[in-house]
Structure 1
Amino acid sequence: MTQTLLLTDPLFLRHDPGPEHPERAERLARILDVLECEPISGVERRAPRSATEEELAAVHTPRLREYLRGLRGRTELIDPDTVTSPDSYEAALRAAGASVQAVEEVLAGRARNAFALVRPPGHHAEPDQSMGFCLFNNAAIAAEAARRQGAERVLIFDWDVHHGNGTQAAFWGRRDVLYMSAHQFPFYPDTGAPTEVGEGAGEGYTLNCGVPPGATDADYGAFFQDLFLPVAQAYKPDLVLVSAGFDAHRKDPLGDLELTERGFAAMATELKALAESACGGRLVLLLEGGYSLEGLSQSVHACVEVMAEDIKDRFPEGVSRGAAEALRRSREAHKPYWSVLGR
């Protein structure tokens, strides 16, 4: 069995939103350079396949799928943030396919865990709308694939600095996928308040923690220990999926948080331990944002070390006043649904 499978493809470098766009090919190129210059034992790198129409249809509407097919080979401004180039549609198909393949390999026991290093990212793409640099929602498509392959409960943890509105929307009324997000708030895309908890059968199965500007590794440690991990352990997922954006890094030009690569590694450590205790170690990371080339590449490398070499990072102790208040609000919003948070 492969310990850590990395899925990536040169096609991802050909998605080109434009020379001034933050979601540029150099992001992935720098990650791959760092992984090559600082190799990690236990890692296998492989090229992925593209997603099928059936896999896309599990999340996205016929209208959106037809619209995006029509952009094949074209440069198009979808919205002020989201631009396609001639190779973008094929890259997005391959990104979604890589995410599904990562899940397939882990659920089949051919890989202990996996990281899909993809572009374009996905967590802002809603079932009927591409937005926020994202065309297809890779995490939602991967979660649906896991459900078809027998995973009864899927946990998606989103640590991107921006709230994953698209992933939340995909599973808003369901409890077979638990969506958790720690994100700067208020911030783009103006969703992710702690009171957004899902509805109907899914009420209580969306858990948002809006993080104040300036939050640190220690603050995230408090969020994990006092909010996310107790609920995740009670949920007992069959697979842990991570929307792994690295724009909460202190060097990132788009966010206002103060995480370091060690903070991301500490999150990976906790989620790996959760997966080992709940579901035989089945853990899949999917690349989302991150726009400081140094912060992004070093953070990805630190997370792959945790996944492949059993390196463990710990959060520093302490919590700031603003983070403590954010934690309190999220706990209060979810106490009615999760007894582990108290009543």
Structure 2
Amino acid sequence: MNKHVAFIYDDIFLKHETPEGHPEAKERLIAIVNHLKSEGIWDKLIHVKPRKATEDNLLLVHEFDYIEKIKNLPPGYIDPDTYICEHTYEVACYSVGAVLEAVDGVINKKFDRAFCAVRPPGHHAEIDSAMGFCIFNNISVGAAYAKKKGFRKIFIADIDAHHGNGTQHIFEDDCSVFYFSSHQFPFYPGTGRELERGKDAGEGCTYNIQLRAGSGTKEYLMVFQDILPQKIREVKPDLILVSAGYDMHQDDPQSYINVTTEGVRSVIRSILLASYVPKIFVLEGGYNPPVLAECVKITLEEMLD
């Protein structure tokens, strides 16, 4: 088997410390790494270290004052959910930098698929604020960077059980980035109605699918085997980015969506088969560490296939 899938990770991500009992804990990544090693997947991957995103990189989507604020805040909660410690700014820069490294790897043909095992996650982060465990919007900075590097049309598929409000808002007036999300609704963060379809020059380039609490594999497969491939065919992207949140799994404590493990596999397979352009997966949610580890393992199995 040729190695063509990059796994972008560094122990730097463990330095973002959250209080005991916080769902977004370093144990998430420790479980993933240990599971990949014990299951024999680890050695089949191209291992890539993230780089530290520069302030100029962050400025592609975030406001200068907000970046400075995160750089200088003392440890503590900055909203009811989101905690920062003394290392968070640096770690969040590496979290963004993992996606930039993935984009460059694809451009330089070092690999055609990548999985960024990062934290803190990103899709709730707005232009000027942290939210929902997220500091900087990793996937959005990656998309903006990819545009600068010459990608013409980028498709972001967000499979997290929570709507990626930050990603949607960052690109809602920009049709060069198409945002597609399936998520529990009504639910945190309260955005992601089907009538939110973008605005101004971005009208029609946002596509939200609201799923009721209790939805499971059947509903997800309808979305990802029927609707998503059709949208990708219409958009004709030259790069697909995936906000890979696994809190839609039936055993995750942070949502009321009930997708089985094999359902997750089918969702990933459908995304991979929908188009043969390069794909970069960026970790978002997933708060039951053993379940998250298994979901990442099957994602990488499908990416390697």
**Global fold match (TM > 0.5):** yes
For residues 265 and 234 of structure 1, the distance between their equivalents in structure 2, rounded to whole angstroms, comes to: 24
Contact kept? 2:9, 2:116, Cα under 8 Å: yes
Q: Does residue 62 of the first structure (1) align with residue 64 of the second (2)?
A: yes
Q: How many residues align?
A: 303
For residues 199 and 205 of structure 1, the distance between their equivalents in structure 2, rounded to whole angstroms, comes to: 8
For residues 18 and 168 of structure 2, the distance between their equivalents in structure 1, rounded to whole angstroms, comes to: 25
Letter in 2 for 1:42: K
Alignment correspondent of 2:81: 81
Alignment correspondent of 1:109: 109
For residues 107 and 76 of structure 2, the distance between their equivalents in structure 1, rounded to whole angstroms, comes to: 37
Q: Which structure has the larger Rg? A: 1
CA offsets 1:142-169 (integer angstroms, 9 cap, x no match): 1011111111000000001100000001
Q: 1:223 Cα shift? A: 1.2
For residues 267 and 241 of structure 2, the distance between their equivalents in structure 1, rounded to whole angstroms, comes to: 13
Letter in 2 for 1:160: D
Residue number among 281, 284, 303 corresponding to 1:285 in the alignment = 281
For residues 98 and 262 of structure 1, the distance between their equivalents in structure 2, rounded to whole angstroms, comes to: 28
Q: Does residue 301 of the first structure (1) align with residue 303 of the second (2)?
A: no
Alignment correspondent of 1:262: 262
Q: 1:2 Cα shift? A: 4.0
Q: Does residue 253 of the first structure (1) align with residue 249 of the second (2)?
A: no
Moved over 6 A (4+): none
Contact kept? 1:262, 1:299, Cα under 8 Å: no
Letter in 1 for 2:280: V
1:22-171 equivalences in 2 (<5 Å): 22-40=23-41, 42-71=44-73, 74-171=74-171
Contact kept? 1:275, 1:283, Cα under 8 Å: no
Contact kept? 1:156, 1:240, Cα under 8 Å: yes
Alignment correspondent of 1:9: 10
Cα pair distance change 1:50/1:118, threshold 3 Å:
same
Q: 1:42 Cα shift? A: 3.3
Percentage of identical aligned residues? 40
Letter in 2 for 1:135: I
Letter in 1 for 2:95: A
For residues 130 and 119 of structure 1, the distance between their equivalents in structure 2, rounded to whole angstroms, comes to: 14
For residues 136 and 16 of structure 2, the distance between their equivalents in structure 1, rounded to whole angstroms, comes to: 13
Letter in 1 for 2:282: L
SS at match of 1:179: strand
Q: 1:48 Cα shift? A: 1.1
For residues 139 and 50 of structure 1, the distance between their equivalents in structure 2, rounded to whole angstroms, comes to: 15
SS at match of 2:292: helix
For residues 10 and 106 of structure 1, the distance between their equivalents in structure 2, rounded to whole angstroms, comes to: 23
For residues 295 and 83 of structure 2, the distance between their equivalents in structure 1, rounded to whole angstroms, comes to: 26
| Structure 2 gap ranges (5+) | none
Letter in 2 for 1:60: H
Q: 1:32 Cα shift? A: 0.5
Alignment correspondent of 1:338: none
CA offsets 1:220-243 (integer angstroms, 9 cap, x no match): 111123322211111010100000
Alignment correspondent of 2:19: 18
For residues 167 and 297 of structure 2, the distance between their equivalents in structure 1, rounded to whole angstroms, comes to: 25
1:181-330 equivalences in 2 (<5 Å): 181-276=181-276, 279=277, 282-308=278-304, 310=305
Letter in 2 for 1:262: E
Contact kept? 1:92, 1:135, Cα under 8 Å: yes
SS at match of 2:267: helix
RMSD of aligned Cα (Å): 1.2
For residues 181 and 244 of structure 1, the distance between their equivalents in structure 2, rounded to whole angstroms, comes to: 11
Please give the TM-score of this superposition, normalised by the length of structure 1: 0.86
